[in-house]
Chain A
Amino acid sequence: MADAVIGQVTDRATARPRRFGLRSAMRRKSMTAFLMTSPLILLIALLVVYPALYSVNLATLNRSMEHFVGFGNFLFLFNRETFWMVVRQSCIFALTAVLFKAIFGFVVAHFVHNIPAKGQRKWRGMLLVPWVIPPAMSCLAWLWLFDPSYSAFNWVFEKFGIGPIPWTGDAMWARFSVILVNVWIGAPFFMIMYLAALKSVPEQLYEAAAVDGANFLQRTWYVTLPMMRNIIAITALFSLIVTFANFDIVRILTAGGPIDLTHVFATWAFRVGIEVGDIPLGASVSLFMVPILTVAAIFILRDINRRGNEA
């Protein structure tokens, strides 16, 4: 009986702090934040983590998906000439497109920034149009513009005695076309990010630079660019990831042609995995983007962290 009483007392003594711990945990802001974000975390786990792990699993299977082959699919790809061509083209496509998007975005952001506040909103809205139209739709319009027989571009050029240009039929022109459309769609995103960054640069810095006799280029180089560095890096990183994984533009405009010279990772993965029916190889092609983008992300984010610490 005495043992039983002691037992009950001990249980109560241990139970109290536990209840107290839970209550205090619930009071903590981090716990509340975790609970509130948990539906989203669950959603991401279901829609991102699970497919990612599933694709890793697929990439380790043979073509008929019956046997485990480890890194066999990757080793197979490393020996394929076409695969390395796709790697090269993806890099050319992503780096060129991101560079031009950044340049156009930067220039246009400056123009918009210098428009008086009253009319600026209209311009901002109009310039965002390419970015907000679903890419599949705008790509179809571009496809018609690039059409070999009825191209509006060629019709105009013909008036000046130029062309006809094989927009999607020749390798160089096809690459130019897909990059052009990517820049057209993506540049407004850069523009809006850079515009936000420009607006946050303190006016006093420009005034001080003007007092020191700095011209426009010097103001841009010594004031604007350093103040925008983090935004430029983050925007470039996001855009690099999205552009590397681009599918719709290439698929609609060239379907990877002519003779595979515009294929990027996503279109090649679709061709191999879905159209040919070799799903493990398709998964391996798409997973090959991960190390490339991870390296890029590490470098860019490390640079941002360093500057953050310096500040």
Chain B
Amino acid sequence: MRGKLTRRRFLATTAASTALIAMPYVRGSHAAGRLSIGFWDHWVPSANNTSKALVEEWAAKEKVEVLVDYIPTQGQKLLLTIAAEAQAKSGHDILALSTWLPSDHANQLEPVDDIVEPLIKQNGAVNATVEYLGKSQGRWIAVPATIGSQIKGPCSRIDLMKQHAGIDVQAMYPAGAPPKAENWTLEAFLKAAEACQKAGFPFGIGLGTTPDSVDTAGAIFHSFGAQAFLVRLGAPAGSIRDEQMAVLDPRHLREQFVVPRQSVDIDLHDAQVRHGRGALIMNPPSAWAVAKRDAPQVAEQCWTHGMAAGPKGRFAPCVPYFWGIWSFGKNKEAAKSLLVHLSQPAAIEKLVAASGGYDLPPFANLTTLKTWAEEEPPKGTLYHYPNPYNHQVLSIAGAPAPPKIAVQIYIQGVMTKMTVRHLQGEPMEKTLAWAENEVEGFLRT
């Protein structure tokens, strides 16, 4: 009797089921799920607000619940978070990945060709260094990011360079016009460094293993064609070409070691400019921005410009950031949609403005935004920062060795260590043998 289906009960059940099926789909405020993001905690305070506003704008439109964490790089917090999430296979859906991290975690990152290729078509090509770092086995494994990407070219004191080295950096890199820097060579750079050093205003180039030191050393190595030395060490046996071997002549390397003789501790080299004690540093406009706040009279004399050219070309250190999506992430489609939103020209323009021109978009069509033309003092000081005329090759230390090897060359500071060893009196042959031995150890798979 209990299990018997009565006519009345059948009708009631049918009516209820029909009503349930026919009920209109109510799209809630978080109908498309959740998305957690770990962004780099920008050192420019308002920059985080802008990225958060852009994310919230997208979230409201797409009905996604977002959680944004800003993770600082102080104390390697971001690096540790990434390492922990990679181990745990759990964490944020999107994470900011600095320079080498996409290739480090290539196996755990979602391929993003489907969004990066259209973005390149829309915004212009990315430079070879961004491609080298963001691709693995021919596929994009992370989206080139605007937030955090930078070029570490020279930032000079206009007055000191003019007074002590006879170089007018504003005339060499005029705001709003192409550079006239044919004579801006490493030879001229060295002469200027020596003159400024004698006058008590040394160039701030470090020789430690901090990224700033390594980036500068890497650009100088590139300028002398010494990257082939690293290719030889990083390349699998049997693939060494004769012309690469040719540049192993120690004289090519020896020439480079002269420049960083004016070295200071790189961790404080921006302080050097801020306090008016240095004539040139190799840095993005962060030192200038702090000087603008703390020592406006120093900021008025700062001019960011291109790198000096070496015998093999003009190379500037480029340190791009990426946004990666974990392959174990739970909402990959939403993650891709957000990254496309953040890579739109309008969003990029806002991000660049919020960072005071510090952040650099990776795309070729977006290097002439008004922020860089208008930032002051002095007006136009950042005009040449994003390399608008492509007059220098954007490079990274360790490249073009395979990224798994190059990252070790970079993090271990092989180039700066070579420089220091030789400057301390070690014969060049011994220094080269040491470097060869070190890099051979990096071939471990």
- CB atoms of B411 and A276 under 8 A apart: yes
| Complex interface: chain A residues within 8 A of B434 (CB) | 81
Q: Identify which of B105, B210, B417, B444 contacts A278 (C-beta below 8 A).
A: B444
> Nearest chain-A residue to B104 (Cβ)?
A277
- CB atoms of A258 and B420 under 8 A apart: yes
> Nearest chain-B residue to A146 (Cβ)?
B265
Q: Scoring B residues 43 to 86 as 1 if CB is less than 8 Å from chain A, else 0, what string do you get?
A: 00000000000000000000000000000000010011001000
Instruction: Report Cα–Cα, A117/B76, bound state, in Å.
Output: 47
Instruction: Report Cα–Cα, A169/B424, bound state, in Å.
Output: 12
- CB atoms of A149 and B268 under 8 A apart: yes
| Complex interface: chain B residues within 8 A of A63 (CB) | 404, 444-445
| Complex interface: chain B residues within 8 A of A81 (CB) | 434, 437
Instruction: Report Cα–Cα, A274/B421, bound state, in Å.
Output: 25
Q: Is B320 an interface residue (CB 8 A)?
A: no
- CB atoms of B421 and A279 under 8 A apart: no
Task: Known A63-B444, A63-B445, A258-B420; judge A277-B208 contact (CB<8 A).
Answer: no
Task: Known A64-B107, A148-B265; judge A276-B408 contact (CB<8 A).
Answer: yes
Instruction: Report Cα–Cα, A145/B271, bound state, in Å.
Output: 16
> Nearest chain-A residue to B87 (Cβ)?
A279
Q: Scoring A residues 219 to 261 as 1 if CB is less than 8 Å from chain B, else 0, what string do you get?
A: 0000000000000000000000000000000000001111110
Q: Is A113 an interface residue (CB 8 A)?
A: no
Q: How far is the CB of B145 from chain A (nearest CB, A)?
A: 19
| Complex interface: chain A residues within 8 A of B123 (CB) | none
* Residues 396 to 438 of chain B near chain A (Cβ within 8 Å): 404, 407-408, 411-412, 417, 420-421, 434, 437-438
Q: Is B244 an interface residue (CB 8 A)?
A: no
Q: How far is the CB of B441 from chain A (nearest CB, A)?
A: 5
**Contact count band on A:** 20 to 34
- CB atoms of B420 and A277 under 8 A apart: no
- CB atoms of B420 and A276 under 8 A apart: no
Q: Identify which of B80, B272, B420 contacts A149 (C-beta below 8 A).
A: B272
Q: Is B341 an interface residue (CB 8 A)?
A: no
Instruction: Report Cα–Cα, A63/B408, bound state, in Å.
Output: 12
- CB atoms of A257 and B208 under 8 A apart: yes
Instruction: Report Cα–Cα, A271/B417, bound state, in Å.
Output: 15
Q: How far is the CB of B5 from chain A (nearest CB, A)?
A: 48
Q: Is B264 an interface residue (CB 8 A)?
A: yes
- CB atoms of B107 and A258 under 8 A apart: no
Instruction: Report Cα–Cα, A80/B210, bound state, in Å.
Output: 22
- CB atoms of A148 and B264 under 8 A apart: yes
* Residues 135 to 172 of chain A near chain B (Cβ within 8 Å): 147-150, 168-169
Q: Is A89 an interface residue (CB 8 A)?
A: no
> Nearest chain-B residue to A72 (Cβ)?
B444
Task: Known A255-B209, A257-B209, A276-B408; judge A169-B445 contact (CB<8 A).
Answer: no
Instruction: Report Cα–Cα, A276/B438, bound state, in Å.
Output: 14
- CB atoms of A64 and B412 under 8 A apart: no
- CB atoms of B107 and A149 under 8 A apart: no
- CB atoms of A276 and B268 under 8 A apart: no
Q: Identify which of A76, A82, A271, A281 contacts B438 (C-beta below 8 A).
A: A82
- CB atoms of B441 and A62 under 8 A apart: no
| Complex interface: chain B residues within 8 A of A80 (CB) | 441
* Residues 92 to 147 of chain B near chain A (Cβ within 8 Å): 100-101, 104-105, 107
Q: Scoring B residues 254 to 284 as 1 if CB is less than 8 Å from chain A, else 0, what string do you get?
A: 0000000000110010011000010000000
Interface centre among B80, B421, B444 (most CB of A within 10 A): B444
Q: How far is the CB of A55 from chain B (nearest CB, A)?
A: 12
Task: Known A255-B210, A274-B83, A275-B411; judge A149-B264 contact (CB<8 A).
Answer: yes
- CB atoms of B417 and A260 under 8 A apart: yes
Q: How far is the CB of B214 from chain A (nearest CB, A)?
A: 12
- CB atoms of A271 and B412 under 8 A apart: yes
- CB atoms of B80 and A281 under 8 A apart: no
| Complex interface: chain B residues within 8 A of A257 (CB) | 208-209
- CB atoms of B268 and A148 under 8 A apart: yes
Instruction: Report Cα–Cα, A271/B404, bound state, in Å.
Output: 15
| Complex interface: chain B residues within 8 A of A256 (CB) | 209
- CB atoms of B444 and A169 under 8 A apart: no
Instruction: Report Cα–Cα, A276/B412, bound state, in Å.
Output: 8
| Complex interface: chain B residues within 8 A of A150 (CB) | 268, 271
| Complex interface: chain A residues within 8 A of B79 (CB) | 274-275
- CB atoms of B277 and A149 under 8 A apart: yes
User: A147-B265, A148-B268, A277-B407 known; 18 other A-B pairs, CB under 8 Å?
Assistant: A62-B444, A63-B404, A64-B445, A81-B437, A148-B265, A150-B268, A150-B271, A255-B208, A255-B209, A257-B208, A259-B417, A259-B420, A275-B76, A276-B412, A277-B83, A277-B105, A279-B83, A281-B444
Q: Name B's A-contacting residues (CB within 8 A).
A: 76, 79-80, 83, 87, 100-101, 104-105, 107, 207-210, 264-265, 268, 271-272, 277, 404, 407-408, 411-412, 417, 420-421, 434, 437-438, 441, 444-445
Please provide the 7 A-B residue pairs with the shortest distance between their CB atoms, ordered closest to farther.
A277-B104, A148-B265, A259-B417, A276-B411, A275-B411, A257-B208, A259-B420
Q: Name A's B-contacting residues (CB within 8 A).
A: 62-64, 76, 80-82, 147-150, 168-169, 255-260, 271, 274-279, 281
11 A-B residue pairings within 8 Å (CB atoms): A64-B107, A82-B438, A148-B268, A257-B209, A258-B207, A259-B420, A271-B412, A274-B83, A275-B76, A277-B83, A279-B87
